Structure 1
């Protein structure tokens, strides 16, 4: 390994997707990737964020994490996005970041890169699969090469059996099965990205 530059872009209101992103980053680094973890800019009004203790606490905990930029996207040759579901699609903060990428997309600088996605919701049927699909539709517009986990390892079944990407019912710490699923997904993404890189830096 050594040719993979993985950008992990996450949005996290209360901490679940941040924890998922950090778990993926650890696995990707162990697989040989250079990894950047960045967060989407908060678009909710400051008064709303500060009005909820858990939301404010998460913002304070991750104040040191850099915000995602188009330059990060240009740097990477692989992407892993993680964001909670909102009414069956990705959170608006992730969508707002994606909507800044038009110039890069028009130049073809997002194409031919391996991409995968993760998400969470309050319950198993809160739109998790449609949220992943909404992110994959965006990746298809970019011209990315989709790298879902599929059923490529038994850990997928242990964590709920979602072949599209790791999903988690928020409100509690990540369990071991979910962490194993995230690690497998991130490692598989790095492996495919390495194959696409073809040994070129």
Structure 2
């Protein structure tokens, strides 16, 4: 069984709904799932933010243990000026205690994002998270361009699932759920392959004669 951690920050609920879609898809694949929200420390005051905080208060906050436990990790963030939200980055900034000793090495990690506008920074936010994944020594899992779901309206980039929420708190498009499910399945498949590879024994080198 693959351990999957879905770790995200959401202010008004759109990223949360993508994260929920990922968690549900992982559970359907038979994975053990932890859905974890990153703690709020700089509330935006945007419409719907207080309601969203109250509605998701029972979701556990992310911890380093969740990262170490997971075989596959999905990171989600709203767009903040083309970058990941500072709340998620603050959490990532605490991970050197895991990354430096190699405890995040060769884990399968993927990223997703939500934004208010089309071409409003979803891709750059995902790529910014890819930078952190490289520092972890983890394996970036991109969605690629081969699955039909990626070509549906309101989907479609090869880096990770994203949504255009506009000024609608908690909104995602129906087809985004399918893209998120595909991304999750792919991340689990890569994690399983990495785990299989890690268990294959490598023969010791034969000493040369003489």
TM-score, normalised on structure 1? 0.92
Structure 2 match to 1:92:
86
SS at match of 1:198: helix
Question: Between Structure 1 and Structure 2, whose CA radius of gyration is higher?
Answer: 2
* Residue ranges of structure 1 left out of the alignment (5+ in a row): none
Structure 2 match to 1:17:
15
Structure 1 match to 2:206:
none
Q: 1:70 aligns with which of 43, 47, 64?
A: 64
* Residue ranges of structure 2 left out of the alignment (5+ in a row): 200-210
Structure 1 match to 2:162:
167
SS at match of 1:95: helix
Q: How does 1:31-50 map to 2 (within 5 A)?
A: 31-44=29-42, 48=43
In 2, Cα distance between the equivalents of 1:52 and 1:196? 41
Structure 2 match to 1:186:
184
Q: 2:149 aligns with which of 134, 145, 155?
A: 155
Aligned length: 194
Kindly provide the CA deviation profile for residues 72-105 of structure 1, in whole angstroms up to 9, marking residues without a partner as x.
Answer: 1111111100110101110000000001111111
**Runs of 4+ in structure 1 displaced over 4 angstroms?**
none
SS at match of 1:82: strand
Kindly provide the CA deviation profile for residues 119-164 of structure 1, in whole angstroms up to 9, marking residues without a partner as x.
Answer: 0111012111111100011101101111111013110011432000
Q: CA RMSD in A?
A: 1.5
In 2, Cα distance between the equivalents of 1:60 and 1:152? 39
